[in-house]
Chains A and B, each alone.
Chain A
Amino acid sequence: DQQVKQNSPSLSVQEGRISILNCDYTNSMFDYFLWYKKYPAEGPTFLISISSIKDKNEDGRFTVFLNKSAKHLSLHIVPSQPGDSAVYFCAAQDDKIIFGKGTRLHILP
């Protein structure tokens, strides 16, 4: 059974607007949550993370929110830029790191 779920396979957002990517998890023992970004024909690259003891972490245009009671996290990108078009993977860590299926983000001009 999937422990990390990204239920939206794709998302289209107008340039300059906010992009919100969502992720749900089932294992309450996860202690770190991470977002990775992947361009075609490249390996994923780390974007931002959050510890399970926090509810928000911000890094420039990227903010991750964690709602532990709902077992839900989200990545906000504002403002969205053309270079943000990529596949975004949510990941969670206990003794290993488990990824979701990914959400393909399209930034529209």
Chain B
Amino acid sequence: DAEITQSPRHKITETGRQVTLACHQTWNHNNMFWYRQDLGHGLRLIHYSYGVQDTNKGEVSDGYSVSRSNTEDLPLTLESAASSQTSVYFCASSESSTGELFFGEGSRLTVL
């Protein structure tokens, strides 16, 4: 079955370290998204991509970057992790233009 997987599922890191969260989907979807979920804020869009070599900033993109070198993967990089980036991160993908997203199970990141 096609799926979307995130790794690692849990990560603890220190302030100032570079961290990369992986997202891999096997649906061959063109559209991929990264969200973070925080108490009191719901799901906020970090970055998104509508195809290979395409990347766009979302609502809370500062401190994050993405690259899209193939259809299946959209890794999220925190160049210099900050405590404010402690969160649960969700990757999602979609094919249609009607917004139906398929989410991964999430990556819980703690920055100490």
**A residues whose Cβ falls under 8 Å from a Cβ of B:** 6, 32, 34, 36, 41-46, 49, 51, 89, 91, 93, 96-102
Among B44, B48, B56, B90, which residue has its beta carbon within 8 angstroms of that of A43?
B90
With beta carbons under 8 angstroms apart, the residue of B35, B102, B105 that contacts A99 is: B35
* B99 & A32 in contact (Cβ 8 Å cutoff): yes
Q: Is the CB of A34 within 8 A of B40?
A: no
Alpha-carbon separation in the docked complex, A29 to B101 (Å): 20
- B101 and A96 contact, CB distance less than 8 A: no
Q: How far is the CB of B105 from chain A (nearest CB, A)?
A: 5
Q: A43-B103, A43-B104, A43-B106 are in contact. Are A96 and B45 (CB under 8 A)?
A: yes
- Residue among B45, B98, B103 making CB contact with A45, cutoff 8 Å: B103
Query: B16-50 toward A: CB 8 Å interface, digit per residue (1/0)?
Result: 00000000000000000101000011111100100
B101 / chain A contacts, CB cutoff of 8 Å: 36, 44, 46, 97
A62 to chain B, nearest CB (A): 14
Interface majority SS (helix, strand, loop, mixed), chain A: strand
- Expressed in whole angstroms, the Cα–Cα distance for A76 and B17 within the complex equals 45
- Confirm or deny: B8 has a beta carbon within 8 angstroms of a beta carbon on chain A: no
13 example contacts (A-B, Cβ-Cβ < 8 A) are as follows A34-B99, A41-B105, A42-B106, A43-B92, A43-B103, A44-B90, A44-B101, A89-B42, A96-B45, A97-B45, A97-B99, A97-B101, A98-B59
Chain A residues, Cβ within 8 Å of B100: 34, 46, 49
Q: Which residues of A contact B44 (CB under 8 A)?
A: 99
